[in-house]
């Protein structure tokens, strides 16, 4: 009988973790012995079976999961995204034709789409010149000619409705450390925009301008300057009060400062230069889409590590919330999406809001956005958090569900602690703490646009399903 570890215990300083009644923890501390109180809650909403799955996973031999998660975390740390130019969707995306429409979130059918998503789809079909009117577009959809697919499956992300079609220009971001590529559309600005489901002529005209004027100019700027390092901008912006999901004013300003010297050198037409610089400097959220592509390029490197339980994607299509976890590759785990809670623009209220939507939760998947709310006192009022302390509490609570903290993105307001990074599906189920996401809110009717911003949680069901499927893949459940 092997009692070596007991002899070790007898010979060393006792150090206790107390799970349950806190009197026992106080008692140990009163004896001047180190003790940590585990704020235990019934795991996964009180589901005993899930609790036992978690326990079984903890007991896998050789620390397989922990090793795999460390590997996943190390890849996230090593990620080095660079913006290397502009491309058109049809040039780079696999299995693409004019009738293919990429959307945010997990897969869904036309019938399942919410109002803004449907509005965006109708607009996108007109933008591609496949239909003159919404009626014609609808006919195409009902004939089954239009093929919908999640952006996430083809290395892409898009905010809110996330439309990506044949002619659309995309930021190309290369993760230099691994050589993989990710793409995201250009941010359209505020007001009537396709990402919030608007689709009138002005929306289409702006998209055409992005395609025909802005994108070529940006591409030439990159050609002149060389790749732009995005992590540097993100790290600086975080220290300047952006959380980089709902607030990107610092990042967008830094970006403008970095790109404008090249832009002015590559645009000869003064009128165009004026339009381009007006557009870039007039949109506080311009950097969001670059941040999203950067996050996607990093999270994709964590995909398909055997035994790795880190989350590689979180995204919403306005109907369902979906996540992917590393070990299970491209399998989506979905649950009905929740309603954000937050503040509304004047004239709008909760009854106007569409449920949570967009691929932009890739920022939280990487560990910024809602996860770094503590770095962003200024966003607190915008998303309706109660106080700066509450924002820090949100960030603090995210360390409970992540593998570690990001050594490159640090939070000045929290003693330069690294941003919480690498969501572990086991920890989410175990602690009952779900990822917090900062988000914009679309009007539930297509075409109205943004009505507010707020905070939303990823639904627990996605994580419990993923955990169960993972355990099944190991024949443990």
Partner 1 sequence: MTTKNQVRKNLYFDSVTLMVASSAMRQMEGVINAAVMMGTDHNRDLMTNAGLIGPDTPPFGVNDTVIGVQAQTSQAAEAAIAYFDTFISGKKSAAKTQTQAHATSLPGAKSQYPSTNFAVISVPGRYARAEAEKALGLGLHVLLFSDNVSIQDEVELKEIALEKGLLMMGPDCGTTIINGTALGFANVVRRGKIGLVAAAGTGLQEVTVLIDQLGGGVSQALGTGGRDLKAEVGGRMMSLCLEALRNDPNTQVIVILSKPPAKEVMADMLKQLETVDKPVIAAFLGGDPSMLAGSRVVWADDLEQAAKLAVLAEQGNPIQLPAYDSKKLEHLADTLCAQLLPGQTCLRGLYSGGTLCYETMLLLQKEGISTWSNIALDPAWKLPDGEPSRGDTLLDMGEDFFTNGMPHPMIDFRQRVERMECEAQDDSVAVLLLDCVGGYGTHQDPAGELAPAIQRVKEMAIKAGRELVVIASVTATEGDPQVRSTQIQVLEQAGAVVMPCNAQAARLAACIIRRQRQEGKE
| Helix (H) or strand (E) run with residue 52 in it | helix 48-58
Which positions lie near partner 1, rule CB under 8 A? 1-10, 12-31, 33-43, 45-46, 48, 51-52, 54-56, 58-59, 400, 426-427, 430-433
Q: Shortest distance, CB of residue 382 to partner 1, whole angstroms?
A: 23
By beta-carbon proximity to partner 1, the closer residue of 164 and 392 is 392
Closer Cβ to partner 1, 65 or 293, answer by number: 65
**Least gap, CB of 425 to partner 1 (angstroms):** 13
CA pair distance 240, 250, nearest whole angstrom: 6
Min dist. Cβ of residue 25 to partner 1 (A)? 7
Rounded to 5°, the CA angle 366-114-462 comes to 40
Smallest gap from Cβ 194 to partner 1, in A, equals 37
The residue (of 20 and 349) whose beta carbon lies closer to partner 1 is 20
Two tokens, residue 446? 């297509």
Nearer to partner 1 by Cβ, of 10 and 416: the residue is 10
For residues 52 and 239, which CB has a smaller minimum distance to partner 1 in the complex?
52
Tell me the residue ranges of DSSP E strands in 275-401. Answer: 311-317, 320-325, 333-336, 341-344, 357-358
Q: Residue 415 Cβ, how far from partner 1 at the closest point, in Å? A: 16
> Judged by CB, which is closer to partner 1: 52, or 281?
52
DSSP 3-state assignment of 356? coil
CB of 22 to partner 1, least distance (A): 7
Token couple for 399: 């360390």
* In the complex, minimum distance from the CB of residue 62 to partner 1, in angstroms, rounded to a whole number: 12
Type and span of the H or E element at 333: strand 333-336
Residues ≥6 apart with Cβ < 8 Å to 186: 169, 170, 171, 210, 214, 215, 218, 289
- Helix 286-299 to helix 230-239 angle (10° resolution) is 120
Angle of helix 460-473 versus helix 48-58 axis, rounded to 10: 50
Question: 41, 431 in Cβ contact below 8 A?
Answer: yes
Query: From CA 54, how far away is CA 422, in angstroms rounded?
Result: 18
Residue closer to partner 1, measured from CB, 46 or 226: 46
Cα separation, 417 vs 134, in Å, equals 50
């Amino acid at each position: 009988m092997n009692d070596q570890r007991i002899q070790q215990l007898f010979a060393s300083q006792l150090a206790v973790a107390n799970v349950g009644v806190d009197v026992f923890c106080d008692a140990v501390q009163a004896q001047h012995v180190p003790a940590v109180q585990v704020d235990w809650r019934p795991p996964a909403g009180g589901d005993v079976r899930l609790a036992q799955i978690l326990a079984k996973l903890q007991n896998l031999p050789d620390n397989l999961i922990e090793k795999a998660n460390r590997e996943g975390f190390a890849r996230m740390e090593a990620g080095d995204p660079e913006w290397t130019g502009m491309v058109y969707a049809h040039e780079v995306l696999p299995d693409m034709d004019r009738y293919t429409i990429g959307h945010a979130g997990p897969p869904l059918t036309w019938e399942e789409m919410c109002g803004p998503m449907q509005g965006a789809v109708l607009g996108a079909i007109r933008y591609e010149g496949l239909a003159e009117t919404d009626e014609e577009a609808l006919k195409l959809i009902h004939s089954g000619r239009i093929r919908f697919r999640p952006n996430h499956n083809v290395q892409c992300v898009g905010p809110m409705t996330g439309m990506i079609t044949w002619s659309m220009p995309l930021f190309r971001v290369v993760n230099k450390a691994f050589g993989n590529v990710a793409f995201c559309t250009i941010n359209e600005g505020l007001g009537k925009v396709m990402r919030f489901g608007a689709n009138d002529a002005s929306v289409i005209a702006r998209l055409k301008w992005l395609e025909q004027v802005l994108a070529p100019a940006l591409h030439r700027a990159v050609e002149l300057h060389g790749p732009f390092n995005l992590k540097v901008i993100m790290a600086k912006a975080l220290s300047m009060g952006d959380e980089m999901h709902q607030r990107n004013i610092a990042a967008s300003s830094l970006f403008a400062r970095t790109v404008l010297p090249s832009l002015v050198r590559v645009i000869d037409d003064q009128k165009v230069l004026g339009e381009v610089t007006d557009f870039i400097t007039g949109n506080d959220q311009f950097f969001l889409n670059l941040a999203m592509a950067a996050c996607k390029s990093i999270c994709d490197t964590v995909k398909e590590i055997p035994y790795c339980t880190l989350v590689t994607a979180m995204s919403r299509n306005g109907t369902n919330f979906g996540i992917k976890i590393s070990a299970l590759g491209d399998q989506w785990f979905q649950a009905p999406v929740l309603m954000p809670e937050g503040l509304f623009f004047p004239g709008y209220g909760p009854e106007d809001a569409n449920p949570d939507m967009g691929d932009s939760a890739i920022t939280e998947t990487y560990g910024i956005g809602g996860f770094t709310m503590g770095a962003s006192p200024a966003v607190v009022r915008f998303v309706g958090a109660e106080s700066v302390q509450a924002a820090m509490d949100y960030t603090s609570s995210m360390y409970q569900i992540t593998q570690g903290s990001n050594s490159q993105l640090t939070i000045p307001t929290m003693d330069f602690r690294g941003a919480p990074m690498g969501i572990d599906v086991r920890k989410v189920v175990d602690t009952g703490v779900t990822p917090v996401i900062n988000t914009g809110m679309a009007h539930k009717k297509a075409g109205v646009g943004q009505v507010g911003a707020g905070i939303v949680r990823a639904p627990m069901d996605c994580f419990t399903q993923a955990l169960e499927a993972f355990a099944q893949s190991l024949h443990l459940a």
